Amino acid sequence: MSNIVIERETANDESGIVVAIHVRSGEAVEQDRPLFDIENSKAVQEIWSTTAGILTHALEIGQTVEFGVPIAQIVTPEEWAARARKQVHSPRIPETRPKPHAVTTGNENPCDFVLSQGPSPASRSLAVPHLSRAATALITDHHLSSTTFDIDFVTSRDVLSYLGSLRPPGVPQPSADSPTQTIEPRPETGRTVEHRKAAEIEALSNGAGDTMLSVLGATIGPLTVRRTTADFLNGRITDLVIYEAARLMRKFPKLNSAYRDGRVITHEAVHAGLAIDSGSRLVVYGIENADRASLHELSATIADAVERYLENMLTSAEMSRATFTVTDLSADELDFVFPLLPRGQSCIVGITHSAQTGFRLFCGFDHRVTEGREVAAFLGELRSRLLTFGAAPTAAQEVPQCQFCGRSADETLRKNKERGLLKVVGRDGHESLCCASCWNGW
Give me the count of residues in the chain. 442
CB of 117 to other proteins, least distance (A): 8
CB of 31 to other proteins, least distance (A): 29
Choices 148-156, 335-343, 393-401, 421-429 (CB under 8 A): range interacting with other proteins: 148-156
CB of 368 to other proteins, least distance (A): 56
Q: Which is nearer to other proteins, 28 or 43 (CB)?
A: 43
Choices 127-135, 189-197, 209-217, 383-391 (CB under 8 A): range interacting with other proteins: 127-135
Q: Does 11 bind other proteins (CB under 8 A)?
A: yes
204/199 Cα distance (integer angstroms): 9
Task: Name the phi and psi angles at 114, rounded to 5.
Answer: -95, 120
270/424 Cα distance (integer angstroms): 26
Q: Does 277 bind other proteins (CB under 8 A)?
A: no
Q: Which is nearer to other proteins, 111 or 300 (CB)?
A: 111
Q: Which is nearer to other proteins, 17 or 295 (CB)?
A: 17
Q: Which is nearer to other proteins, 158 or 244 (CB)?
A: 158
Q: Does 115 bind other proteins (CB under 8 A)?
A: yes
384/226 Cα distance (integer angstroms): 17
Name the H helices within 113-268.
133-141, 156-166, 195-210, 238-251
Sign of CA dihedral 415, 419, 423, 427: negative
Q: Which is nearer to other proteins, 175 or 224 (CB)?
A: 175
Q: Does 133 bind other proteins (CB under 8 A)?
A: yes
Q: Does 153 bind other proteins (CB under 8 A)?
A: yes
Cβ burial of 378 (10 Å; 0-12, 13-18, 19+) is buried
Q: Does 123 bind other proteins (CB under 8 A)?
A: yes
Q: Does 139 bind other proteins (CB under 8 A)?
A: no
Q: Does 95 bind other proteins (CB under 8 A)?
A: no
Q: In this structure, are residues 56 and 83 in contact, taking their beta carbons and an 8 Å threshold?
A: yes
Query: What residues form DSSP beta bridges with 359?
Result: 221, 353
Q: Scan residues 15-74 and list those touching other proteins (CB under 8 A).
A: 40-43
Query: How many CA atoms does the CB half-sphere of 186 hold within 13 Å?
Result: 3
Q: Which is nearer to other proteins, 116 or 234 (CB)?
A: 116
Q: How far is CA 49 from CA 25, 26, 45, 144, in A?
A: 13, 14, 13, 55
Among 151, 215, 216, 334, binds other proteins (CB under 8 A): 151
Q: Does 148 bind other proteins (CB under 8 A)?
A: no
The continuous run of DSSP H or E covering 432 comes out as strand 431-434
320/203 Cα distance (integer angstroms): 11
Q: Does 174 bind other proteins (CB under 8 A)?
A: no
Q: Does 113 bind other proteins (CB under 8 A)?
A: yes
Choices 130-138, 226-234, 292-300, 433-441 (CB under 8 A): range interacting with other proteins: 130-138
Cβ burial of 248 (10 Å; 0-12, 13-18, 19+) is buried
Sign of CA dihedral 303, 306, 308, 310: negative
Contacts with other proteins by CB under 8 A lie at: 11-13, 40-43, 111, 113-116, 120, 122-126, 130-135, 151-153, 155-157, 177, 179
